[in-house]
Amino acid sequence: MKTEALKIAILSLHSSPIGALGSRNTGGMSVYIRELARELGRCGHHLDIFTRRNAHTNGQVVNLDENVRLIHLSNGHVGPVPKLALYHTVEDYFRALERFQAQDGLCYDLIHSHYWLSGLLGQIAQNRWQVPHIVMFHTLGALKNMAAAGEPEPELRIVSEKRLAKGCHCIVASTAKEREKLMRFYGAAAEKIKVVPCGVNLNLFRPLDRLAARRRLGFEADESIVLYVGRFDPLKGLDRLIAAFAYLRNHPRLRLVIVGGDGEQSSAFQYLQRLVLKYDVQDRVIFAGRIEQSDLPPYYSAANVLVIPSRYESFGMVGLESLACGTPVVTTPVGAFKRILREGQTGYVVSDDTPVALARGIEFFLPATLAEAPVPEAVRASVFEYDWSNVASAIMDAYTNVLTNQTYASN
């Protein structure tokens, strides 16, 4: 086993860790990669994150943090491509990766890939370089299809995920539920799956004074604010959240603030606008657009409650961010929150995912006065264990384990 600083190749082919958070293809996975790499870099390990070069890329190599570089790989085409088209160019990206590696004179100790497309790139590298390969799927095609929202995921994805689950050395799952599904629907070996929850940046996400946060954002002290933060994807269930608002008409000063999305020209935004009109809640719903992550704490702090109305969620990092800012979370029974939330105190997992159930959950956190709201510091204390340094140390255990014992991989 190696005890010195490790050289780790992190693969994030389709989505850049410095991309626009909250836009269609960029969200929690980018935050995860960035935060994990930063923590491991601080511990002295060397991390190279490989992503696809796009039209906005500035330079091939970007120094992100201490010991962390972002490397843009090109296959000669920098325009937008559908995710699936990347499948056919994975070999090209491997050649670009090898060219970079040869120029730089580096040999990696292990590969950590994120999402199935990067997993396929990682699998080529694993076989050619004979180094361990750790995979994190973030979402699984079979589970997305079961949630039946948006475009179905192709069989190609599911077959590839099965192949990866069999051939890699370790799978990191963010919840015990994901581990169980990996075993049930993908035939993954139990001993290969390590459950490590996602993290939260406790320095950035802290409670601010609620009224000051409201003033800063232009909201009134006597309003009740329900917040959504995230991408506009059919799986996220924003349609249900808007429909839930139709059941909350007897709360006159209630607002739904929606953060994220790809702007007013996007079809997802226009669809949601139509729903807002259909349910006649246009005077209560505010689309705030995409907000830089560093500017999110006032939104969480201003809100009475954050809602995760998703049909499928692998974890739901916005929930941790909200709790870290002292704001309770109401969620459908997805992701990690059954274990994290203390029902009635820090949040509520609604029993089913209908708009009426969501509305009842939200109502629970709309007290008559702010003084009746949960104490922010107590809510925050419930997520101290999710500090990224703890995530990094659990991931390092997984790395150490595969470097010690590489016997689980079979192609």
Which residues on neighbouring strands pair with residue 195, listed in sequence order?
173
19 touches ligand UDP by CB under 6 A:
no
273 touches ligand UDP by CB under 6 A:
no
Q: Cα separation of 160 and 168, whole Å?
A: 12
Please say which residue, 67 or 310, places its beta carbon nearer to ligand UDP.
310
111 touches ligand UDP by CB under 6 A:
no
Tell me, residue by residue from 320 to 359, as one string, x for binding to ligand UDP by CB under 6 A and - for no binding.
-x--------------------------------------
In 3D space, the residue among 321, 325, 375, 329 whose CA is nearest the CA of residue 349 turns out to be 329
Count of residues in contact with ligand UDP, rule CB under 6 A: 20
Instruction: Name the one range near ligand UDP by CB under 6 A: 26-34, 54-62, 99-107, 212-220.
Output: 26-34
Write out 151-181 in H/E/C secondary structure. CCCCHHHHHHHHHHHHHCCEEEECCHHHHHH
Least distance to ligand UDP, CB of residue 334, Å: 11
Instruction: Name the one range near ligand UDP by CB under 6 A: 25-33, 69-77, 79-87, 355-363.
Output: 25-33
- Among 6, 11, 16, 28, indicate the residue that binds ligand UDP (CB under 6 A): 28
CB 73 within 8 A of CB 50: yes
Least distance to ligand UDP, CB of residue 90, Å: 22
Q: Cα separation of 164 and 127, whole Å?
A: 12
Q: Cα separation of 109 and 404, whole Å?
A: 12
Region 192-231 residues binding ligand UDP, contact defined as CB under 6 A:
229-231
290 touches ligand UDP by CB under 6 A:
yes
Neighbour-count burial of 130, counting CB atoms closer than 10 A to its CB (0-12 exposed, 13-18 middle, 19+ buried): exposed
Q: Cα separation of 383 and 367, whole Å?
A: 23
Q: Cα separation of 21 and 265, whole Å?
A: 18
Q: Cα separation of 274 and 282, whole Å?
A: 10
- Among 8, 10, 29, 243, indicate the residue that binds ligand UDP (CB under 6 A): 29
How far apart, in Å, do the first and last CA atoms of the chain sit? 23
Least distance to ligand UDP, CB of residue 89, Å: 24
- Among 78, 204, 217, 291, indicate the residue that binds ligand UDP (CB under 6 A): 291
Please say which residue, 94 or 287, places its beta carbon nearer to ligand UDP.
287
Site residues (vs ligand UDP, CB under 6 A) = 21-22, 27-29, 31, 229-231, 259-260, 290-291, 293, 296, 315-318, 321
